[in-house]
């Protein structure tokens, strides 16, 4: 889990391809889930479960490590996965 630099949002993962984004002011989910799977489907059994996540220094991106030895970069502004590095264990 991590908090963005402005301390407005908290992100956390639960060993699936989703990041949960929580608005700390209201303590409500801003979005239901941020899906980091490439297909848009639940890829838990295919190995893309997120093990760790962290906001970038400017809070506009989230970097994640998966159980499939991938590094993922999710852009919050565009709302999509922008980079995937395989074999990054």
Q: Distance (Å, rounded) from C-alpha 50 to C-alpha 14? A: 7
Residue 39: the pLDDT is 54
The domain that holds 19 is classified in CATH as 2.40.10
Instruction: Provide the pLDDT for residue 44.
Output: 46
Question: What local confidence, expressed as pLDDT, does residue 4 receive?
Answer: 96
**Which of 28, 20, 16, 18 lies closest to 2, judged by CA?**
20
pLDDT digits (tens, 9 = 90+) for 24-58: 888 876 655 677 766 555 444 455 789 999 999 99
Angle at 28 between CA 22 and CA 32, to 5 degrees: 65
Retrieve residue 78's tokens: 């565009």
How many domains would you assign to the chain? 1
pLDDT at 88: 83
Quick one: tokens of 12? Answer: 């956390």
Q: Cβ(58)–Cβ(66) under 8 Å?
A: no
Q: What is the mean pLDDT of residues 2-6?
A: 96
Q: Which domain holds residue 36?
A: 2-85
pLDDT in tens, 74-86: 999 998 899 999 9
């Amino acid at each position: 889990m991590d908090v963005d630099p402005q301390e407005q949002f908290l992100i956390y993962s639960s060993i699936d391809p989703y990041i949960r984004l929580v608005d700390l002011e209201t303590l409500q989910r801003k979005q239901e889930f941020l899906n980091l799977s490439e297909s848009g489907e639940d890829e838990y059994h295919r190995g893309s479960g997120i093990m760790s996540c962290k906001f970038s220094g400017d809070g506009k991106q989230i970097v994640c490590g998966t159980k499939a030895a991938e590094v993922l970069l999710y852009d919050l502004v565009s709302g999509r996965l922008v980079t995937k590095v395989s074999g990054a264990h």
